[in-house]
Amino acid sequence: MTPPIRSLLLLGLIFAWGNSPTLAQDRPSKWESPGHAYSLVLSEGADSSRLTLFHHAKELAHYAFEGELVSIYWSPGGHYVALNNHNGHRGWYPWILNLQNGHVIRKNDEQKSASYNRYEDYTYLPDVPDLARSRITFVYPGYARDTDQNGEGHITVIYGWENETTLRMFDEVVLDQLFKKEKMRLSICSLLTVRDAGLSADSFSVEKTSYSGSPDHRPPEVLKVLGY
């Protein structure tokens, strides 16, 4: 005998509830290195999140984490891991961790403390626009003057390893005056050298690109990070 429609609806609701995906905030997210020796776990709580680095089952370090972990790049030789962290309107926050000890590698030194706040570390990376100034003024002579204007927008993302100690990095700088005059922005590709003692940047390529909204000037790997 065919069951009543009401019973079928009830069975369907029970089945759907039992097979619904687990929400991200209900479980940790985990990323493993290619050889499975290391893992990153992002545990999301009601008020804050925690990023933890493990070597097998041993915790190496953990840090407060905000926003979304967009992409992860394990270095080819297994010494480092680089992350792109997007934290809403606050912008992009690259991280580089030493896999041997869990330290956060910065411009001038290393940090390993549960109280370390990546989002208040305003000197984490080398100042790529400043380091690339000679190349920027070549493509946009007004840069030195217009950087004094308020309203500069800036994104920085890592988009892969060149080799064990060299990361590919992309910066995009938006200056009020450049936008008002020419509807343009500046795109900078550079290489970020990673050493335990700190970070340095070199090998700059600078373009002045249209602010039309087209992302075509960005490397394909950058487009993937940014969700195009």
Mean pLDDT for 35-59 is 91
CA trace torsion 37, 40, 41, 44 (10° rounding): 180
**pLDDT at site 26:** 41
Which of 130-139's residues contact partners 24+ apart within 8 Å by CB, and which partners? 131/190, 131/201, 131/202, 131/204, 132/188, 132/190, 132/204, 132/206, 135/188, 135/204, 135/205, 135/206, 136/186, 136/188, 136/206, 138/206, 139/186, 139/206, 139/207, 139/208
Domain residue limits, the chain: 24-226
User: In percent, how much of the chain has pLDDT > 90?
Assistant: 64
Confidence category of residue 150, pLDDT binned at 50, 70, 90: low
Least confidently predicted of 1-10, 27-36, 77-86, 154-163:
1-10
CB count in 10 Å sphere of residue 17? 8
Q: Is the model's pLDDT at 147 over the cut of 90?
A: no
E strands, the chain, in order: 29-32, 38-44, 49-55, 58-65, 68-74, 80-86, 92-98, 104-105, 110-111, 153-163, 166-174, 184-195, 198-210
Q: How far is CA 164 from the centre of its chain?
A: 18
**pLDDT at site 18:** 34
Mean pLDDT for 92-116 is 93
**pLDDT at site 131:** 94
| More confidently predicted of 110 and 24 | 110
Q: What is the pLDDT of residues 166-216, one digit of tens each?
A: 999 999 998 888 888 888 999 999 999 999 989 999 999 999 998 876 777
8 Å CB contact between 67 and 48? no
Residue 223: closest CA among 176, 175, 179, 187? 187
Q: What is the pLDDT of residues 12-29, one digit of tens each?
A: 333 333 333 223 344 459
Q: Is the model's pLDDT at 44 over the cut of 70?
A: yes
Calculate the average pLDDT of the chain.
85
Mean pLDDT for 84-106 is 95
Cα(73)–Cα(221) distance, integer angstroms: 12
**pLDDT at site 19:** 33
User: In percent, how much of the chain has pLDDT > 70?
Assistant: 85
